[in-house]
Amino acid sequence: MIGEPATLERTAWNLAWRRFRKHRLAMASASLLGILAVLSVAAPLFEFGLEIDAARVELLRRFALPSGDAWLGRDELGRDVFVRLLYGGQISLLVGIVTALAAAVIGTLVGLIAAYRGGWLDAFLMRFTDSVIALPFLPLLIVLAALDLNKLGIPPAIIESENISFYRIIFIVALVGWTTSARLVRGAALSIRERDFVLAARAQGAGAWRIMMVHILPNLISPIIVATTLSAGKIILLESVLSFLGLGIQPPIASWGNLLTNAQELIHSAPQLAFYPGIAIFLTVIAFNFLGDGLQDALDPKSAT
């Protein structure tokens, strides 16, 4: 029947959704991440509704307590903490999601090509992957983030851009964070490439690229989704660490990491300035991990319905 494969696919996704709904922590995590994302995107609306400017310095209102026009109080420069926290969430969540997707794309291509081609290319790509994995991850990121862009031949117009630190973090973390996806995709693709439908496509004269993209890749979506979700939380934590060390997102752009950096010298006099971004990072990373666990259980065909 022509519609039978589509029906089977819908049934599989319905079963996955049913299994996912049973995972209470994953459902709660998905709801929390959704709320955080909506609040972060709505930061300009809060700024407009409260009639404030999140970047405006008001020294006479330094460390003001929470009030009707400053729901979480004000920081050491008199800026609204709540709205700045939302703007920081925009950057941190965007870095985590975009970088995780970029790393997944790189890792998927490497793993897919290695598995399908095999032979010396597979050996070379996997040894290269092992070499990247063997490098000390955090020190490597610190070294890459500390490189002087002027000495790399990058045009001054790009270096002086306000968003250069944002693009730099995405590029650096994606450059070294693709290895998990590559090994996962390769392992799954090795078994799929010997399936009957792949052999039939090859016998009909389909090219290697078409077989990889049309016949193998769709069957790898589940592990790729799980790996990307789990890595997003890790990347948000890495961005926060680099920003905390002064090597990540740079002011005037706010991120949860550099909000922590600004608060470290005020931890005794105004501990709330460190608590708010710290708890946001903690809850977001934990939520991504629980969400990844729930997706892994839901998308596993061996799970009980």
What pLDDT does 282 receive?
93
CATH for 114? 1.10.3720.10
What are the tens digits of pLDDT across the range 232-284? Answer: 988 988 888 888 777 888 877 888 988 888 888 888 888 888 899 999 999 99
What pLDDT does 1 receive?
44
Minimum mean pLDDT range among 39-53, 97-111, 191-205, 280-294: 191-205
What are the tens digits of pLDDT across the range 74-85? Answer: 888 888 899 999
Confidence of residue 35 (pLDDT cuts 50, 70, 90): very high
What are the tens digits of pLDDT across the range 184-203? Answer: 999 888 888 888 888 888 88
Average pLDDT of span 8-24 = 75
Confidence of residue 3 (pLDDT cuts 50, 70, 90): very low
HEC assignment per residue over the chain: CCCHHHHHHHHHHHHHHHHHHHCHHHHHHHHHHHHHHHHHHCHHHHHHHCCCCCCCCCHHHCCCCCECCECCCECCCCCEHHHHHHHHHHHHHHHHHHHHHHHHHHHHHHHHHHHHHCHHHHHHHHHHHHHHHHCCHHHHHHHHHCCCHHHHCCCHHHHCCCCHHHHHHHHHHHHHCCHHHHHHHHHHHHHHCCCHHHHHHHHCCCCHHHHHHHHHHHHHHHHHHHHHHHHHHHHHHHHHHHHHCCCCCCCCCCCHHHHHHHHHHHCCCCCHHHHHHHHHHHHHHHHHHHHHHHHHHHHCCCCCC
What pLDDT does 12 receive?
66
Four-residue CA torsion sign, 187, 193, 194, 197: positive
What pLDDT does 71 receive?
86
What pLDDT does 10 receive?
61
Q: Provide the residue range defining the domain that includes 273.
A: 4-57+69-299
Torsion of CA 212, 214, 218, 219, to 10 degrees: -60
Number of domains in the chain: 1
Does pLDDT of 8 surpass 60? no
Whether 120 is in a domain gets the answer yes
What pLDDT does 275 receive?
92
Per the model's pLDDT, the better-predicted residue between 110 and 60 turns out to be: 110
What pLDDT does 85 receive?
93
Average pLDDT of span 12-29 = 84
Does pLDDT of 2 surpass 50? no
Does pLDDT of 43 surpass 70? yes
Whether 76 is in a domain gets the answer yes
What pLDDT does 127 receive?
92
Whether 62 is in a domain gets the answer no
Minimum mean pLDDT range among 56-70, 106-120, 144-158: 144-158
What pLDDT does 62 receive?
86
CB of 99 within 8 A of CB of 177? yes
What pLDDT does 9 receive?
57
Confidence of residue 302 (pLDDT cuts 50, 70, 90): low
- CA atoms lying within 13 Å on the CB side of residue 48: 4
Does pLDDT of 223 surpass 90? no
- Report how far residue 159's alpha carbon sits from residue 23's, in angstroms, rounded to the nearest whole number: 45
Whether 78 is in a domain gets the answer yes
Q: Pick from 165, 147, 137: which is nearest to 234 by CA?
A: 137
AA identity, residue 295: L
Whether 174 is in a domain gets the answer yes
Whether 144 is in a domain gets the answer yes
What are the tens digits of pLDDT across the range 112-124? Answer: 999 988 889 999 9
What pLDDT does 4 receive?
45
Whether 64 is in a domain gets the answer no
Whether 117 is in a domain gets the answer yes
Mean of per-residue pLDDT scores for the chain: 85
